[in-house]
Amino acid sequence: MKDNDIGQNTPEILIVDDMPDNVQIISLMLKTKGYKIRSALTGKLALQIVRDNPPDLILLDVNMPEMTGYEVCELQKALTDIRMLRGIIPICANCKNIRDDAGAWQEVENYVREHAEVEFSHSLCPTCAQKLYPDIEFDKDEQNA
Protein backbone atom coordinates (compact mmCIF):
# COMPACT_ATOMS: atom_id res chain seq x y z
CA MET A 1 0.00 0.00 0.00
CA LYS A 2 1.17 3.49 -0.76
CA ASP A 3 0.66 6.59 1.36
CA ASN A 4 -1.72 9.13 -0.13
CA ASP A 5 -1.73 12.90 0.42
CA ILE A 6 -3.71 12.75 3.65
CA GLY A 7 -1.49 10.08 5.21
CA GLN A 8 -3.78 7.09 4.74
CA ASN A 9 -2.73 3.93 2.99
CA THR A 10 -4.24 3.71 -0.49
CA PRO A 11 -4.24 0.19 -1.91
CA GLU A 12 -2.95 -0.10 -5.46
CA ILE A 13 -4.79 -2.34 -7.90
CA LEU A 14 -3.43 -3.47 -11.25
CA ILE A 15 -6.12 -4.17 -13.84
CA VAL A 16 -4.96 -6.45 -16.66
CA ASP A 17 -7.35 -6.79 -19.60
CA ASP A 18 -6.87 -6.66 -23.35
CA MET A 19 -10.12 -4.70 -23.76
CA PRO A 20 -9.59 -0.99 -22.97
CA ASP A 21 -13.31 -0.43 -22.32
CA ASN A 22 -13.25 -3.05 -19.56
CA VAL A 23 -10.18 -1.43 -18.00
CA GLN A 24 -11.85 1.99 -18.10
CA ILE A 25 -15.13 0.81 -16.51
CA ILE A 26 -13.41 -1.14 -13.73
CA SER A 27 -10.97 1.73 -13.12
CA LEU A 28 -13.77 4.25 -12.70
CA MET A 29 -15.64 1.99 -10.27
CA LEU A 30 -12.56 1.38 -8.13
CA LYS A 31 -11.30 4.99 -8.19
CA THR A 32 -14.60 6.16 -6.70
CA LYS A 33 -13.93 3.78 -3.80
CA GLY A 34 -10.52 5.38 -3.20
CA TYR A 35 -8.20 2.86 -4.82
CA LYS A 36 -5.13 3.81 -6.82
CA ILE A 37 -5.38 2.14 -10.24
CA ARG A 38 -2.75 1.02 -12.72
CA SER A 39 -3.52 -0.91 -15.87
CA ALA A 40 -1.94 -3.12 -18.51
CA LEU A 41 -3.42 -4.27 -21.80
CA THR A 42 -1.11 -7.30 -22.15
CA GLY A 43 0.23 -10.01 -19.88
CA LYS A 44 3.78 -9.07 -20.82
CA LEU A 45 3.27 -5.47 -19.69
CA ALA A 46 1.60 -6.68 -16.49
CA LEU A 47 4.66 -8.80 -15.63
CA GLN A 48 6.92 -5.78 -16.18
CA ILE A 49 4.77 -3.63 -13.89
CA VAL A 50 4.67 -6.31 -11.20
CA ARG A 51 8.44 -6.77 -11.37
CA ASP A 52 9.19 -3.04 -11.15
CA ASN A 53 6.60 -2.04 -8.54
CA PRO A 54 4.20 -4.76 -7.32
CA PRO A 55 0.62 -3.68 -6.63
CA ASP A 56 -1.43 -4.77 -3.63
CA LEU A 57 -3.94 -6.62 -5.82
CA ILE A 58 -4.13 -7.75 -9.46
CA LEU A 59 -7.40 -8.12 -11.37
CA LEU A 60 -6.40 -10.35 -14.28
CA ASP A 61 -8.41 -11.30 -17.37
CA VAL A 62 -7.86 -14.99 -18.12
CA ASN A 63 -8.82 -14.79 -21.83
CA MET A 64 -6.24 -12.55 -23.46
CA PRO A 65 -4.39 -13.03 -26.75
CA GLU A 66 -0.64 -13.73 -26.80
CA MET A 67 -0.51 -14.62 -23.09
CA THR A 68 -3.52 -15.81 -21.08
CA GLY A 69 -4.08 -14.82 -17.49
CA TYR A 70 -3.15 -18.36 -16.45
CA GLU A 71 0.17 -18.09 -18.31
CA VAL A 72 0.83 -14.73 -16.62
CA CYS A 73 0.29 -16.37 -13.21
CA GLU A 74 2.55 -19.33 -14.03
CA LEU A 75 5.31 -17.09 -15.35
CA GLN A 76 5.07 -14.72 -12.39
CA LYS A 77 5.39 -17.67 -10.00
CA ALA A 78 8.42 -18.96 -11.92
CA LEU A 79 10.03 -15.52 -11.91
CA THR A 80 9.42 -15.20 -8.17
CA ASP A 81 11.28 -18.48 -7.63
CA ILE A 82 14.37 -17.17 -9.42
CA ARG A 83 16.87 -15.24 -7.36
CA MET A 84 19.84 -13.65 -9.05
CA LEU A 85 23.18 -12.48 -7.73
CA ARG A 86 24.02 -9.07 -9.16
CA GLY A 87 26.81 -6.60 -8.87
CA ILE A 88 30.47 -7.03 -8.04
CA ILE A 89 31.36 -9.79 -5.59
CA PRO A 90 34.80 -9.49 -3.93
CA ILE A 91 36.47 -12.91 -4.22
CA CYS A 92 39.92 -13.98 -3.03
CA ALA A 93 42.17 -14.71 -6.00
CA ASN A 94 43.78 -17.60 -4.14
CA CYS A 95 41.26 -19.48 -1.98
CA LYS A 96 38.10 -18.20 -3.71
CA ASN A 97 36.42 -17.09 -0.46
CA ILE A 98 33.96 -14.23 -0.86
CA ARG A 99 33.76 -11.05 1.24
CA ASP A 100 30.14 -10.32 2.22
CA ASP A 101 28.50 -6.93 2.81
CA ALA A 102 29.63 -6.94 6.46
CA GLY A 103 33.27 -7.49 5.42
CA ALA A 104 33.48 -11.09 6.62
CA TRP A 105 35.08 -13.72 4.41
CA GLN A 106 33.21 -16.95 3.77
CA GLU A 107 33.40 -19.94 1.46
CA VAL A 108 31.90 -19.37 -1.96
CA GLU A 109 29.42 -22.24 -1.43
CA ASN A 110 28.02 -20.66 1.74
CA TYR A 111 27.75 -17.22 0.15
CA VAL A 112 25.94 -18.47 -2.93
CA ARG A 113 23.69 -20.76 -0.87
CA GLU A 114 22.61 -17.77 1.28
CA HIS A 115 21.95 -15.49 -1.70
CA ALA A 116 20.61 -17.82 -4.38
CA GLU A 117 18.72 -20.66 -2.67
CA VAL A 118 20.88 -23.40 -4.17
CA GLU A 119 22.65 -26.45 -2.82
CA PHE A 120 26.02 -27.75 -3.98
CA SER A 121 27.31 -31.21 -4.64
CA HIS A 122 31.06 -31.61 -4.95
CA SER A 123 33.13 -33.43 -7.50
CA LEU A 124 36.49 -33.07 -9.20
CA CYS A 125 36.90 -31.82 -12.72
CA PRO A 126 39.23 -33.98 -14.87
CA THR A 127 42.11 -31.49 -14.65
CA CYS A 128 42.00 -31.33 -10.84
CA ALA A 129 41.52 -35.10 -10.51
CA GLN A 130 44.66 -35.74 -12.58
CA LYS A 131 46.59 -33.06 -10.67
CA LEU A 132 45.57 -34.36 -7.21
CA TYR A 133 45.75 -38.07 -8.05
CA PRO A 134 48.38 -38.47 -10.78
CA ASP A 135 48.81 -42.21 -10.09
CA ILE A 136 45.18 -43.01 -10.89
CA GLU A 137 44.07 -43.43 -14.47
CA PHE A 138 40.65 -41.93 -14.93
CA ASP A 139 38.12 -43.22 -17.44
CA LYS A 140 38.15 -40.95 -20.51
CA ASP A 141 34.33 -41.04 -20.69
CA GLU A 142 34.03 -39.76 -17.09
CA GLN A 143 36.47 -36.95 -17.82
CA ASN A 144 34.41 -35.75 -20.77
CA ALA A 145 31.06 -35.97 -18.95
17: confidence class by pLDDT, cuts 50, 70, 90: very high
Is the separation of the CB atoms in 66 and 44 below 8 Å? yes
Q: Is the pLDDT confidence value at 41 over 90?
A: yes
Domain tally, the chain = 2
- If asked whether residues 118 and 66 sit together in one domain, one would say no
Picking from 81, 106, 121, the residue at the C-terminal end of a domain is 81
Percent of the chain having pLDDT more than 90?
30
Higher pLDDT, 116 or 74: 74
Q: Is the pLDDT confidence value at 14 over 90?
A: yes
List the one residue out of 109, 108, 144, 102 whose CA is nearest residue 126: 144
- Domain with 103, as residue range(s), is 98-143
Centroid of chain to Cα 31: 30
90: confidence class by pLDDT, cuts 50, 70, 90: confident
Is the separation of the CB atoms in 62 and 22 below 8 Å? no
Please state the rounded mean pLDDT for residues 70-79: 82
- If asked whether residues 77 and 102 sit together in one domain, one would say no
pLDDT of residue 143: 47
For the segment 120-134, what is each residue's pLDDT rounded down to a tens digit? 777 888 888 888 889
Is the separation of the CB atoms in 12 and 56 below 8 Å? yes
Asked whether residue 103 is domain-assigned, the answer is: yes
Query: For 102, which DSSP code?
Result: T
